Amino acid sequence: MKKTYYLFNSGTLHRKDNTLRFTPIEEDDNGIEHEGQPRYLPIEDISEFYAFGALNANSALYNFLGQNDISVHFFDYYENYTGSFMPRDSLLSGKMLLAQTSAYQNKKKRLEIARKFVEGAAFNMNKNLRYYNTRGKDLDGVIEKIEYYVTQIPLMEKVEELMGIEGNIRQTYYEGFGLIIPDFEMGNRTKQPPQNEINALISFGNMMCYSQCLRAIHQTQLNPTISYLHTPGERRYSLSLDISEIFKPIMVDRVIFKLLNKRELQDKHFDKKLNKCLLNPNGKKIFVKAFEERLSETIKHRSLKRNVSYRHLIKLECYKLSKHLLGIEEYKPFKMYW
């Protein structure tokens, strides 16, 4: 099975026959940078790269990655997603592109799909809250408030109004984090930059989820730039934002709760300076390991009657959306049933 590789160090990536050689840049005890021990990666083992440091590579290397369907996702120093190198869209279909565009331009159809994304996200958020509510966290008030907002979703007649409801649901959901993770205070949601540990983890995890959704979309006939809940814009894959709304509670928030409540992530795993809080390299490694474990976990799929991984669930979501757009089957967002 192909694996995702995370490049935490800056370094150089070279092709060597059918192998990739990554040479990291490391610091010695005096803070002087030098080349570290090269690592050799067989091309057939690689699914994608996440580059958290500066990556030095030439066009020949990217041509080779493209030929082998390997993506590279880039993050800046502040852990913000900055872009991706994606192989050629060999699966793109003119029929699908026309269907996506038509659904976006039809206000009724766009609103219908956008509502599904918000409904799925809200359901999965409340599922998390109910899980901890049965474990003595007293989240009844937060759950009831979200349930009220959910009743308003069908009443929204514009996507902008729906985005407002989605924002209210998420803000209410975050109010419950203080009870679920008592040792850390979240406060207001802050992004650029995050102001505390929980905000740092949410931002980092959401970007990881966004990248996974982008990868899944790329493996189908969907165009990642045409979206329904989020407005399509320049230089962003907004359909990934739509689909990630459904999976963030399942794949990001559950990992955050686990790591903090089990104290696998602690204060020492964060850098706090200049009015910002970011995961340090060790903290990133711990989070990435837990996130990868989550993606690899399997559940018994109700419709398929077989075990599927969380990673595969995202691709299945893309297939469901594709069928809806082509008029084959109504789209129903994935909702946790365990």
Q: Could you give the number of structural domains in the chain?
A: 2
User: What confidence score (pLDDT) does residue 90 get?
Assistant: 59
User: Which token pair is 251?
Assistant: 């794949």
CATH classification at residue 268:
1.20.120.920
CA–CA separation, 29 and 33 (whole Å): 10
User: What confidence score (pLDDT) does residue 91 get?
Assistant: 66
117 and 43 in one domain? no
User: What confidence score (pLDDT) does residue 50 get?
Assistant: 94
| Domain limit, last residue, from 63, 85, 107 | 85
CA–CA separation, 120 and 247 (whole Å): 9
CA–CA separation, 177 and 137 (whole Å): 10
CB atoms within 10 A of CB 300: 11
CA–CA separation, 11 and 34 (whole Å): 10
User: What confidence score (pLDDT) does residue 76 get?
Assistant: 85
164 and 54 in one domain? no
User: What confidence score (pLDDT) does residue 234 get?
Assistant: 60
72 and 111 in one domain? no
Burial of residue 10 (CB within 10 Å: 0-12, 13-18, 19+) is: middle
Give residue 268's domain range: 94-325
User: What confidence score (pLDDT) does residue 176 get?
Assistant: 94
Q: Give this prediction's pTM.
A: 0.90
User: What confidence score (pLDDT) does residue 192 get?
Assistant: 73
154 and 214 in one domain? yes
52 and 141 in one domain? no
152 and 33 in one domain? no
311 and 174 in one domain? yes
146 and 71 in one domain? no
| Domain limit, last residue, from 85, 115, 146 | 85
- For 27-54, the three-class secondary structure string (H helix, E strand, C coil) is ECCCCCEEECCCEEEEHHHEEEEEECCC
Task: List the chain pLDDT tens, one digit each, 338 residues.
Answer: 789 999 999 999 999 888 999 999 987 777 788 888 999 999 999 999 999 999 999 999 999 999 999 999 999 877 788 888 988 765 667 899 999 999 999 999 999 999 999 999 999 999 999 999 998 889 999 999 999 999 999 999 999 999 999 999 999 999 999 899 988 887 778 777 888 899 999 999 999 999 999 999 998 999 999 999 999 876 578 999 999 999 999 999 999 999 999 999 999 999 988 788 899 999 999 999 999 999 999 999 888 889 999 999 999 999 999 999 999 999 999 999 87
